[in-house]
Amino acid sequence: MAAPDNEKSRLDDAARAGWLYFIAGHTQDEIAKMLQVSRASAQRLVSLCLAERLITFRLEPPLRPAWSWHRG
């Protein structure tokens, strides 16, 4: 089932907020001004972006034996 238009729009806003925060390096206050929402709404959009996995992060360290990462 397709997402209703308002939910799709919210996810679009969340993706935009996530990109602005994590990729472009803007603060949540700056994002709020850009998207014309409150700072709290900007924070919720960034959180929604992560919760919905609209943006993901991957760590790609140099190759090392798996045991060298373990701290026992």
Residue 47, SS3 per DSSP: helix
Please give the C-alpha separations between residue 5 and each of 26, 38, 48, 54, 69, in angstroms, as whole numbers. Answer: 27, 22, 17, 17, 45
- Tell me the per-residue pLDDT of 4-32, one tens digit each, with 9 for 90 and over: 788 889 999 999 999 999 999 999 999 99
Please give the C-alpha separations between residue 18 and each of 5, 36, 64, in angstroms, as whole numbers. Answer: 20, 15, 31
DSSP state letter for 45: H
Instruction: Give the pTM.
Output: 0.74
Ordered domains of the chain (ranges, CATH): 7-55 (1.10.10)
Please give the share of the chain, as a percent, with pLDDT higher than 70. 83
